[in-house]
Amino acid sequence: MTRDGADLGARLRGGDLTVAPAVLNLVENRTPAAQPRIAALLAEVAPAALGGEAPGHVIGLTGPPGAGKSTLLSQLLAGWRARDRSVAVLAVDPSSKRSGGALLGDRARIDFDPGDRAVFIRSMAAGDRLGGLAPATRAAAHALAAAFDVVVIETVGVGQSETEVADVADTVAVVVQPGSGDALQFLKSGIMEIPDVLVVTKADLGQLAVRARRDLHAALRSLGARETAVVAVSAVPPAAGVEELLDALDAHRARGGVAARRLRARRLHALADFAEEHGSRGMRALGGRRAAERWLAEQDPGLDVAALGRGLAARAGEGG
């Protein structure tokens, strides 16, 4: 029964982009029967199988509704494809998976060639947490990074999305529009770690956009975040800033630290899966979240998500 998961993982490892829909269908299947197949898939794209971390660049793109993320994604897609990079977009929908919601309609505004097999776009449900990431999103991003050059996790800037996407992505970009004050609120309130890249949309608004960039630079300096890029982009022809943004995203990844972020992401993914399956009772059996995180930090860095999950379950059973 695990063979189809292993086959999907092996095909991703070989660069087969056409299996992306089947991979998403599998990781979104949360029935007990699907779990061994998901574990087999993730084992095939784990660092031990790949000989290192997955080569794809996982980018978290977040920001409040109306900030222009769909328009920006259209521009970024065109830019990445012009650079001959394959792209997968996981658009997290905080509405019910059954009822859909307005955000699914927003995906239709992402401009791309549906016949381009190097581009894959999928809306995913957030689960029970407004703005949060379902475990399936974490698994999908991890798996697709083995085959796609770029994997984008797009979230709406509400609830837990900012902190959770920072736990999964190699690079986090926060999108805001001039005059909204949203990014300054994020930075002041400590909702998330300092973003890796800040993107100011609607740069064609002139002085309003210039002031927004200046305010963000000042706020970042006050927090000691001197390496955080602030890029202004405009969709109004002639579009501007996209190449600078693509370069800023690449520059952040080139600074290193991906292996450490990925290791942390795998451990948090295992803990998120465990919490979803076993609930508060299971977490209590582990001694609480902090105790679980300390135990995870002591484990072999080469263990994949499923192996870490089995270890957590065994530990909870010992404590129960």
* pLDDT tens sequence across 159-218: 555 667 888 899 999 888 887 666 566 565 555 556 889 898 888 878 888 888 888 888
Q: Which residues pair with 295 in a beta bridge?
A: none
Per-residue pLDDT tens over the stretch 279-297: 999 999 999 999 999 999 9
Give the tokens for residue 49.
């199988």
Residue with tokens 């199988």: 49
| Predicted pLDDT of residue 157 | 64
Residue with tokens 């004050």: 181
Query: 219-229 burial, b if ≥16 CB within 10 A, otherwise e?
Result: bbeeeebeebb
Across the chain, what does the average pLDDT equal?
84
Cβ neighbours around 142 below 10 Å, total? 25
Sheet holding 119-125, edge to edge: 119-125, 87-93, 150-156, 57-63, 171-176, 197-200, 229-232
| Of residues 134 and 25, more confidently modeled | 25
How far is residue 165's CA from residue 162's CA, in Å, rounded to a whole number? 6
How far is residue 21's CA from residue 121's CA, in Å, rounded to a whole number? 9
Position 105 pLDDT exceeds 50: no
| Of residues 65 and 42, more confidently modeled | 42
Q: What is the DSSP letter of 217?
A: H
Give the tokens for residue 255.
């600074």
pTM confidence score = 0.88
| Predicted pLDDT of residue 94 | 64
Please compute the mean of the pLDDT values over residues 12-37 and round it to a whole number.
93
Query: Where are any strands of DSSP class E within 4-118?
Result: 57-63, 87-93
CATH topology of domain 50-255: Rossmann fold (3.40.50)
Residue 55, preceding peptide bond in cis (omega within 30° of 0): no
Interior angle at CA 251, CA 248 and CA 254, nearest 5: 155
| Predicted pLDDT of residue 101 | 41
| Predicted pLDDT of residue 108 | 53
Query: Where are any strands of DSSP class E within the chain?
Result: 57-63, 87-93, 119-125, 150-156, 171-176, 197-200, 229-232
Per-residue pLDDT tens over the stretch 220-233: 887 777 778 889 89
How far is residue 309's CA from residue 273's CA, in Å, rounded to a whole number? 7
Please compute the mean of the pLDDT values over residues 18-45 and round it to a whole number.
92
Please compute the mean of the pLDDT values over residues 141-147 and round it to a whole number.
96
Please compute the mean of the pLDDT values over residues 43-70 and round it to a whole number.
89
| Predicted pLDDT of residue 276 | 82
